[in-house]
Amino acid sequence: MNVAHESGSLVERDLFEPEHDAFRATVRRFVEAELQPYHAEWEKAGIVPREAWRKAGALGMLCPTIPEAYGGIGADWLYAVVVIEEITRANVTGPGFMVHSEMVAPYILAWGGEALKREWLPRMISGEAIGAVGMTEPGAGSDLKAMRTSAVREGETYRINGQKTYISNGGQCDILVLACKTDPAAGARGVSLIAVDADQPGFERGRRLEKIGLKAQDTSELFFHDAIAPTGNLLGEEGRGFTQLMTKLAQERLSIGVKGMAACEAAIRWTVDYVQERDLFGGKLGDMQNTQFALAQLAAEVSQGRILVDWGISRFMAGRLTPTDASKIKLLVTELNGRVVDQCLQFFGGYGYMSEYPIAQAYVDARISRIAGGANEVMRQLIARDLFRRN
C-alpha cells in the first residue's frame, strides 16, 4: 500500500523534520522488538511489566517534552506525537504511556513545586515511577463538580478520603494526580489537584477492572482512608483544580485525536493489504467495485481527519489550541475511528471477528475513545456552548 509519509498517513505531512523521522524509526524498531511480540501475553495478564516501562524510558519515549533540568530531553511535542502514533500503528494498546506522559507529567511540570518536580519527574522520565490521574468516581464521571473525594487540610498535610474508579495505570502507579474537594461547599471552585504518593498508609488499590478492550492497560479502583499528602504536593492553588483540568484536558483530547487518527490509518492499511490477497468468486475481494468504493470513501474521510488533527497539533505547539477546538477534534476523530474500524472489519468477514486479528482488537479498543477524556456528548455540549456564546 502506498503511503505519503513514514507515519503511514494517506496525505503528505509537513509537520516533521528529519530528527523527528529518525526518532520515529528508532521508536518503531523498539515497538516491533520490545512491545509487539509480548502484547498478547500482557493482554492475558491484564498488565504491562515495569521492565517495559524502564526500557521505553531509556529510549526517551516517556515524557519527551520535559526540560533537561528535570532529566528530560526537552523535545518539542512532535516527539510525543511520534510515540503515540507508533504505538497505535502497531496495535500495542497496553502500555499506558499516553496517560503518564501527556496527562500526569504536564500537571506536575505546570503546577508542582520545585521539590515535587525534582522528586518525581526524573523517575517518570526513566520509567522507574508510573503516573496516573484520579478524576472519575462511581458517581462523578464527566461531571467533575460532582466528585466527593475530599482533602482536609491539617497543619502541613492533607487528610484524604474517598474513592476513584476506572483509573488507567491505577494498579501500578507510584504517583497519582488526584482531583479532590478541598472545599466541598464551593462546587467547582472547591476542586483542587494534589499529587499523592501511592506508597503510604491509607492508599489502597481495589480490583483490577475487566474491560472489553485495552485489556493489557491496567485499570483499577483506588480507595483513600485517611491517606496523607504534604501540603507541598498541592498543584497550584486550592480551588483552582477545575480550571487546571480544563486547561490540560485540551492536550488530552488532542492526544486522543492523534491516537484515533493513527488507528484509522492503520485499519485502512491492514484492510487494503487483506482484500488484495483474499480470493472471492474467482477473483480478489479488492478487485470488486464495492470494496474499492467503500475504502475510497473511508480514505477520503480519513485524509480529511488527518488534516484537521495536524492543524490541531500545529495550533497546540503554537499555544493557540482552544478547548473548543480540542473538543471538536476529539469528537470528529473518535466518531470516525469507530466507523472506520467497523467497516474495515466487515471486509475481513469471519476472520475479523477473531481476537487474533489486529482489526478485531482495534474494533473493541476504539470504543473507549468516545468516552475517555470526556464523553462525546459532553464534547457536543461544550462546542454548542461556545457556538451560542459567540452568537
Q: Among candidates 260, 274, 292, 273, which has minimal Cα distance to 362?
A: 260
Q: Among candidates 32, 111, 104, 118, which has minimal Cα distance to 71?
A: 118
Strand segments, DSSP code E, in 174-298 are 175-181, 191-197, 203-208, 219-230, 234-235, 279-280, 283-284
| Measured CA angle at 105 (ends 115, 229), to 5 deg | 50
Q: Among candidates 198, 104, 188, 194, which has minimal Cα distance to 157?
A: 194
The set of catalytic residues is: 252
Q: Are strands 157-168 and 191-197 parallel, antiparallel or unpaired?
A: unpaired
C-alpha–C-alpha distance, residues 32 and 220, integer Å = 28
Question: Which strand (E) or helix (H) includes residue 162?
Answer: strand 157-168
Beta bridge partners of 161: 150, 225
CA-to-CA dists, residue 12 to 23, 200, 293, angstroms? 18, 50, 22
Report the 10 Å Cβ neighbour count for 363.
22
Rg (CA), the chain: 21
C-alpha–C-alpha distance, residues 173 and 160, integer Å = 17
Cβ atoms of 194 and 158 within 8 Å: the answer is yes
- DSSP letter at 340? H
SS3 379: helix
Q: Sign (positive/negative) of CA torsion 372, 378, 383, 385?
A: negative
- DSSP letter at 102? I
Cβ atoms of 62 and 104 within 8 Å: the answer is no
Strand segments, DSSP code E, in the chain are 131-134, 150-154, 157-168, 175-181, 191-197, 203-208, 219-230, 234-235, 279-280, 283-284
| Measured CA angle at 351 (ends 348, 354), to 5 deg | 130
